[in-house]
Amino acid sequence: MVGIGASAGGLEALQRFFDAVPGDSDLAYVVVQHLSPVHKSLMVDLLAKHTEMEVVQATDGVPVQRNTVYLLPPGKHLTIEDGRLRLTAKDAGSGMSLPIDIFLTALARDQGSLAIGLILSGTGSDGTRGLMAIKSAGGFTAVQQPETAQFDGMPRSALATGQIDATLPPDELPARLIDHACKALARARPMPARQRRDDGDDPLAQIIAVIRSVTGVDFSHYKLATLLRRIERRMQGAGLESMEEYAALLRRNSAEAVNLYKEMLIGVTRFFRDDAAFRVLADRVIPSLLANRSPTDMVRVWVCGCASGEEAYSLAILFAEAQERLGRSFDVKIFATDIDQDSIEVASLGEYPRAIAEDVSQERLARFFTARGDSYVVSRDIRRMVVFAAHNIMRDPPFTKIDLLSCRNLLIYMDQPLQRKVLSLFQYALRQGGFLFLGTSETLGDLQGDFHTVDSRNKLFQSLRAGSFRLSRLLVPTVSAPLARHGDDTGSHAMEEGAAIDEAMAALMKAYVPPCLLVNEQMTIMHVFGDASSLLKVPPGEATLNVLKLLPSSVAMVTGTALNRAFRSGEEFALSNIPVKDREGVAALSLRVQPYVARKTGRRFALVVLDRANLRPLAVPDSDFDLNADAAERIRGLEQELLSRGENLQATIEELETANEELQATNEELLASNEELQSTNEELQSVNEELYSVNAEYQAKVEELTEITNDLDNLLRSTEIGTVFLDGDFVIRRFTPAAAGFINIIPRDIGRSIAHLSTNIDYPNFLGDIRRVFDGHEAMERHVRVNDGRWVLTRILPYLTDKNQVGGVVVTFVDVTDTKLAEERLQNVLDSLPEHIAVTDRTGRIVMVNAAWQGFAQRNGAPAMERCGVGSNYLDVCLIPEAPEKDGIGRAVHDGLRRILDGEAADFTIEYPCHSPDEQRWFLMHATRLNDHDGGIVVSHINITNRRLMELQLDGAGKADGGRK
């Protein structure tokens, strides 16, 4: 599923994007824009012209279908749950709205690694946080190339996160997204188990080794399936097919190793994630922590794997609300740690986008946040509770005396041996009665017996006893075992071998090596060799590795003096017979400090060896420990250091005074700039008002045009005349519903050439006539038959613009079936009559004849009669010279018909001979004016030959009788 965010300039980008999307991409597209809540969106119609897919406005609860484009309705927020779109009303009083972030974040939660997020043209930063959520969920992120966007604010904001997989022009993005979707579906199928590689050239091991060397983080105990998915995503982005090639790329390009490291860090989090779990914290856990607690007794909370800080601040808010309910204040300190320094920096800012309003109630937003631009900033009181620090739980010592430890959805990415180690660290870190808060898919494993289950559903546990993990186990990192070869058993054998080597090394150190501390110039213990647990003691309060705070006070002072002397002189320094109390009583301790400089970094360190007896003689005999002499030496060193610091302080004061003067000058410049900005702001306000007025005018014009368009649509629809408007390339611009009865056309065909559509009419030269009308600028009409038996009058007319130029073609279809049937019925009636009948129009042009008329003309063969067909002018036919016996008859008929047409007479009758070579014939012609608007004539010729012959016979008989008489 593709979630698309667009704002200013987004229409053009969307059109270019969907022009390039095939109709059968098998993806669903959800478009979210910044829309005015009071104006109807025209996006459905605008985008439908650019895609073969169905374009619909989203409705609440609709299941998302493939090959469909869903659009955000105005005045709504859009989310998705279980593959169904959900609509909620937009809060008009909530200020800046971030609908793109809201939907993309929901898409990440619902679709996970199958989610695809795309940001197109727009201003601001809406969509950036949503893309980060999709990236964290394992999905795919893309943005429009900023250079191709009308407004590049949104694309550049997203690119600044460094979490974007593809940056392309809009018309090149579809192919990239579809290609990713195909590969993502393939990755979603169960992966075959990787086979062991015993040749030492496992590319996966090489990849992990490169990441460790570049970032210092070891992913060898990362879950194999997740590890492979992340690597495959980076391989796909680099266009590589094999892990060997990718391992080689990492060795050449450390930046790619950093990118892969970032890919491994899954920072999915949000405020009050899992409401039910946080309600249990608020109702049961936090009240029990604060009950009967002294206000001076610090409440210590550790959020391990805090990502961008939302969970840490959520806990701080719960503690603030609990204190308010109790009416008491407590010293609450929340240690929020993460392996990623970038995440820590983001969390420290305490600034989050407006999209957090989906997770934080309006009441909490008002009390614990401050609105700033398009962000919310955590209040100062909440921020003071939280201490952020970079921390590697696999390497660094844990915090101690913790009352509440939250580590949610971190263990699920570790293999079982590492999970056991981390859970042991957590058990050590917790006070007796402290609470452990895990993710919904995480368990305690072997440590189940050390905890009481508070809420099994929400994974809340309470420690039954104080941690007993050995201090040496905390301070001595596990000896690095050979990198586990991932295979069918996910490296379990390698882990067992590594553990055995680890235990053997620890045993050797304990048996033969005196306790030895590796210390830097800041007096911080970097490493512990041997078992120093009898000498080192963790003090209460904030966790520390300062050697002077961990050693007994009698040893700490001497050690500090020895370290200072060794670092200053660069020479070994040793003392003996230092009294110290340990678990076995009072003992004499030997101290040896050996300074050295690291070759690669040039940093200075010192090895501090603590032993009850000298293990080897010195070139210079060790001096006995003399507290007074060493104290005097220590005092002299401190005095010299104090003098040096005093001089440094004076120099610093002078520098600060100079800097203060420069800042004052800068402040004056800023004041002047501020006045200029205020003036500019007033000008911008004026321009904004002008733009608003112009916009109002345009809006009124749009409404007027919309009203005119509606009138035309209703007019065309009410006439039931099929009409199709074509542009100069014969592409369909619009059509009326009635046109679908004659051309196979649907709304999605707008924007297609009419040549691509089939018709239901018997009109072979339809496209040719359209071209002739467009080229010749003259209208054309045809009576054609429809496939279902109807008749239609097809008119093709040139489309004239306001400049009287031909901008296209208009094709109309008028159903004339009833008229055609009436004409056929009339024709049948006329054909059934024996008289020769013709009908003319008001000019005398013959428009209809019956079968008797046509038959007589064919049999007669006379030139005049041959010209008496439909289309001939009967008045002209009457004036054609005929046989001598007909002289004067044609003129008489012409004059009689003319009088009828001119309205001077209602009818006209004449008898005339029409002899053929074979027989004598007489006809009676009768003409009558038609009583219609056309004013034509009905002409009938009746054969009266028999009557005329009978009359002649009677006349002849009469004359014969008269002669006899």
Contacts 24+ apart (CB under 8 A), 246-253: 246/203, 246/207, 247/203, 247/206, 247/207, 247/210, 250/206, 250/207, 250/210, 250/211, 251/206, 251/210
Residues 6 or more apart whose Cβ sits within 8 Å of residue 258: 214, 215
Range 84-110 average pLDDT: 82
In 3D space, the residue among 892, 882, 947 whose CA is nearest the CA of residue 925 turns out to be 892
Q: What pLDDT, on the 0 to 100 scale, is given for residue 413?
A: 84
Q: What DSSP letter does each residue of 652-721 carry, written as one string?
A: HHHHHHHHHHHHHHHHHHHHHHHHHHHHHHHHHHHHHHHHHHHHHHHHHHHHHHHHHHHHHHHHHHHHT-
Strand partners, 119: 5, 143
Which run of H or of E encompasses 727? strand 722-727
Residue 282 has what DSSP assignment?
I
Q: What DSSP letter does each residue of 610-637 carry, written as one string?
A: EESS-SS--SSPPEEP-HHHHHHHHHHH
Rounded CA separation 55/65 (Å):
11
Of the given ranges (138-152, 199-213, 490-504, 598-612), which has the lowest mean pLDDT? Answer: 490-504
Vertex 348: Cα angle to 344 and 353 (nearest 5): 100
Q: What pLDDT, on the 0 to 100 scale, is given for residue 640?
A: 67
Q: What is the pLDDT of residues 739-751, one digit of tens each?
A: 888 999 998 899 9
Task: Answer yes or no: is pLDDT of 573 > 90.
Answer: no
Rounded CA separation 116/110 (Å):
12
Confidence of residue 889 (pLDDT cuts 50, 70, 90): confident
Which of the two residues, 335 and 696, has the higher pLDDT score? 335
Confidence of residue 516 (pLDDT cuts 50, 70, 90): confident
Task: Answer yes or no: is pLDDT of 332 > 50.
Answer: yes
Query: Which tokens hold the place of 674?
Result: 């501020």
Residue 943, helix vs strand vs coil: strand
Rounded CA separation 351/374 (Å):
10
Q: What is the pLDDT of residues 551-568, one digit of tens each?
A: 887 788 888 888 888 888
Confidence of residue 93 (pLDDT cuts 50, 70, 90): low
Strand partners, 42: none
Residue recorded with tokens 């709205």: 97
Residue 380, helix vs strand vs coil: helix
Q: What pLDDT, on the 0 to 100 scale, is given for residue 861?
A: 61
Which of the two residues, 406 and 716, has the higher pLDDT score? 406
Which of the two residues, 681 and 642, has the higher pLDDT score? 642
Rounded CA separation 211/259 (Å):
10
Number of H helices, E strands in the chain: 29, 35
Rounded CA separation 405/302 (Å):
5
Q: What is the pLDDT of residues 166-191, one digit of tens each?
A: 899 999 999 999 988 887 766 555 44
Rounded CA separation 93/96 (Å):
9
The per-residue pLDDT of the chain, averaged, comes to: 81
Q: What is the arrangement of strands in the sheet containing 806-815, beginning at the earlier edge strand?
A: 732-735, 722-727, 806-815, 791-800, 780-785
Range 630-650 average pLDDT: 70
Active-site residues: which are they? 7, 34, 126
Residues 6 or more apart whose Cβ sits within 8 Å of residue 444: 423, 436, 438, 450, 451, 461
C-alpha dist (Å) from residue 817 to 113, 487, 737, 744, 870: 60, 79, 19, 20, 21
Of the given ranges (17-21, 103-107, 497-501, 786-790), which has the lowest mean pLDDT? Answer: 497-501
Task: Answer yes or no: is pLDDT of 479 > 60.
Answer: no
Rounded CA separation 938/27 (Å):
70
In 561-600, the DSSP E strands lie at: 573-582, 585-597
Q: What pLDDT, on the 0 to 100 scale, is given for residue 466?
A: 63
Range 152-164 average pLDDT: 85
In 3D space, the residue among 607, 614, 612, 610 whose CA is nearest the CA of residue 515 turns out to be 610
- Give the count of beta carbons closer than 10 Å to the beta carbon of residue 659: 10
Rounded CA separation 565/587 (Å):
25
Rounded CA separation 404/461 (Å):
10
Confidence of residue 522 (pLDDT cuts 50, 70, 90): confident
Total-model pTM: 0.49
**Helix, strand and coil in the chain, % to nearest 5:** 45, 25, 30
Task: Answer yes or no: is pLDDT of 508 > 80.
Answer: no
| C-alpha torsion angle, residues 312, 315, 316, 319 (rounded to 10) | -160
Strand partners, 276: none
Confidence of residue 335 (pLDDT cuts 50, 70, 90): very high
Range 469-492 average pLDDT: 38
Of the given ranges (508-512, 613-617, 704-708), which has the lowest mean pLDDT? Answer: 613-617
Task: Answer yes or no: is pLDDT of 355 > 80.
Answer: no
Contacts 24+ apart (CB under 8 A), 190-197: 191/225, 191/228, 193/487, 193/488, 194/224, 194/228, 194/486, 194/487, 194/488, 195/487, 195/488, 196/485, 196/487, 196/488, 197/485, 197/487
CB 847 within 8 A of CB 841: yes
Task: Answer yes or no: is pLDDT of 423 > 80.
Answer: yes
Q: What pLDDT, on the 0 to 100 scale, is given for residue 808?
A: 92
Strand partners, 437: 406, 460
- pLDDT over 90 percentage in the chain: 26
Rounded CA separation 46/33 (Å):
14
Task: Answer yes or no: is pLDDT of 193 > 60.
Answer: no
Range 675-693 average pLDDT: 55
Of the given ranges (262-266, 442-446, 790-794, 848-852), which has the lowest mean pLDDT? Answer: 262-266
CB 103 within 8 A of CB 110: no
Domains of the chain by start residue, with CATH: 2-188 (3.40.50.180), 236-264 (no CATH), 275-469 (3.40.50.150), 511-625 (3.30.450.20), 720-815 (3.30.450.20), 828-952 (3.30.450.20)
H helices within 202-305, ranges in order?
A: 203-215, 224-238, 243-252, 254-264, 275-280, 286-290
Range 896-909 average pLDDT: 90
- pLDDT over 70 percentage in the chain: 82
Which of the two residues, 309 and 472, has the higher pLDDT score? 309
What is the C-alpha R_g of the chain? 49
**Highest mean pLDDT out of 101-115, 251-265, 462-476, 658-672:** 101-115
Range 357-374 average pLDDT: 88
H helices within 720-788, ranges in order?
A: 766-776
The strand pair at 585-597 and 573-582 is best described as antiparallel
Confidence of residue 196 (pLDDT cuts 50, 70, 90): very low
Task: Answer yes or no: is pLDDT of 481 > 80.
Answer: no
Task: Answer yes or no: is pLDDT of 145 > 80.
Answer: yes
Confidence of residue 107 (pLDDT cuts 50, 70, 90): very high
Range 845-867 average pLDDT: 74
Q: What is the pLDDT of residues 459-471, one digit of tens each?
A: 999 998 765 544 3
Confidence of residue 487 (pLDDT cuts 50, 70, 90): very low
Q: What is the pLDDT of residues 263-274, one digit of tens each?
A: 787 666 889 988
Task: Answer yes or no: is pLDDT of 40 > 50.
Answer: yes
Range 289-294 average pLDDT: 87
Q: What pLDDT, on the 0 to 100 scale, is given for residue 486?
A: 38
